[in-house]
Structure 1
Amino acid sequence: MRNLLLAVTAMATVWTFPSVAPAQTTEFQTWLEGVRSEGLAKGLKPATLDSALNGLQPIERVLELDRRQPEFTRTFWGYLDSFVTEDRIRRGRDLLRRHAALLDQVAKTYGVQPRFLVAFWGMETNFGDYTGGFPVIGAVATLAHDERRSDFFRAELFHALKIVDEGHIAVADMKGSWAGAMGQPQFMPSTFTGYATDGNGDGRKDIWTTLPDVFASAANYLSKIGWDDTETWGREVRLPAGFDLETADLSVHKHISEWQALGVRRANGADLPVADIEGSIILPAGVKGPAFLVYGNFDAIMTWNRSVYYALAVGYLSDRLIGQGALVARRPADEKPLHRDDIIDLQQRLNAAGFDTGKPDGMIGPATRGAVKAYQKANGLPPDGYPTHELLQSLRGG
């Protein structure tokens, strides 16, 4: 749906948008005329297109944020410490109680447990505190006009125009993140048009200020992407000595009884639950970090946001909201993130050694993790695919 960290940064700031060069403005206005013509062909009202497009200019800050690369990678523990705080847990528990009647009603209708709805709410906008200060139409139009992801954002622009056209919100009030994520659940315009719901029956779908609409929309989306309220998201587990790390991957699915037979246990050492479901083992911080057994609802969270860290944080926060304890694993005292320059160096050295990471870009994606795992296997190291400073020193010959 969007990059959460960039969205929160953008939402927490009141932006002033710089002017653009006259030539760029003229070219943009010509491009907008094409948008207007296509909008009319799609059946959008002329008044909607006038209110949304007249005087519109590209937002330079949006392009800056779209191209920004983080200086440091975020470690699993750093991510968790930032998003699952004691203050957020306390506040989430209070809101879970305060809105219990509404949340229970939504849960009965859509089959999504209240604690998860509150966890998503907390993760996305800190319970509605930071819903975004960028004009959504302007932001997505800027990104649609830009060549990098023009097709995707042009489609999002027409979804945004449709939302205005249907009267759900005025153009001036349609605020969101720099990438167009909107409201308290941070829906992209296409997610809104596909799943937003009128929870209070007033004829509008208001995910900005109306909690019945916020919760019903989030629950409707989750239910449509496979949420199962008879299951949880997953749990922290303990792996046995000699565990085959090749099986620690979201692509590997085994029945809980199979993981039990392989020696996997709950984090406290107790047996795994007896249930007729499958799960996958993941190691978000490598072999030295915590291990998790995750189920089908974890996949649904990953559909909401493709970050494993995000999905684990939502699940963990939802557990803490109902009184479950902290993780058994503890953050290493000497943990430090990799600098982007270090990741580029690591990628270049892996490529030179015959382990293909693709073009070095300073980002740790599937190709880099695969190359790291292949290097680890070739050198007798635990093949967890997790890049560390120690691994980089090994590649440097240190």
Structure 2
Amino acid sequence: MAEVQDIFLKYGNNYRTNRKLTLVQHKAMSAIQKCRTSQLGGHKEICDNCGHTRISYNSCRNRHCPKCQALAKERWIENQKSNLLNVGYFHVVFTIPDALNLLAYQNQKAVYTLLFKAVAETLDELASDKKYLGAKIGFSSVLHTWGQNLMHHPHIHCIVPGGGLSSIGKWVNSRKKFFIPVKVLFRKFRGKFLYYLKQFCSQNKLEFHGSQAYLSDDREFGTLLTSLYSKEWIVYCKPPFKNASCVIEYLGRYTHRVAISNKRIVSLAKDTVTFKWRDYKDDNKYKVMTLSANEFIRRFLIHILPSGFIKIRHYGLLGNRNKTAKLKICKQLTCTPLLSQEKVSTLRLIQKLIGKDLSKCPNCGSVKPRRFLSLGKSPPITNQTACI
């Protein structure tokens, strides 16, 4: 099956030559091209019992690489299990209108940061309001910038508990349905986002290029804001999870997802890439889309985040300040068992992912110590991939 790496190896150099890329896009593209090849080095594993040899090449560990997210996701899930409470959780999604997509792409760090801020303040303030819950909540937010067709579509996924800690130290449960009406959510979110966006513009923190250059005129920018205030923004809430264990597995699918997984790529032929996608506007039907290789690469690179940008953030009771103490109180009030944080080995996580015990020799089944010989980095003759 074709992979993103294959597309980059075949068409990447030509794409770079003819287009201007940012430094972070260059780095991500280069890392994906080299991932699990001899260019990154690796090790040779030799079984002392039967002499069987197995070569494994190193991963690039780039957060945008489709190959490197599975293990990172499992590690993250293990670390988050101790933060769960014995209550229902809701999945809430906040999306900005399409009219802002290009502006957001030209000001990624500023607008994505603003998006997190508006979402966090919206949930925190409304949850604290006695009209809805009257308590402090703790929630996790994850930024995604893509739609199923790989177009630019910034939105934030939030996992929100069905309850919170009141000012007098009591646990307050929410209603079975989400405790904040969707209309109230989107209006509050819309107001906050546009207020901060206007502030950014007045402070010259936004850049406008190409077709967006007209927005540098204050009157034109004001007209855009007015039109956005009159729209109903998209905020929706999915039904609560059955139990706490489902929450972290579900959230794990979102935290370490990249723009497109290798599983969705159907074929690479005649300078085109064909991939599966789900059309949410057509009753969630699965469809197939074919793009030129260059257009596929362009769409993929749109979703490379700025260097150092944090795309998974925790707020309220899950924030770093006094998190351990607050969670301990919440667990006592919600009858949540206190779990000891055990470090799970990498081999055990890999076994969970691929169903194989890599501590055993694949030839004789021996679990005796094996020798590991380091392989230096070298230019690859062929695209050799790792066993794992």
Q: TM-score, normalised by structure 2?
A: 0.24
Which structure has greater helix proportion?
Answer: 1
Which structure has greater strand proportion?
Answer: 2
Q: TM-score, normalised by structure 1?
A: 0.23
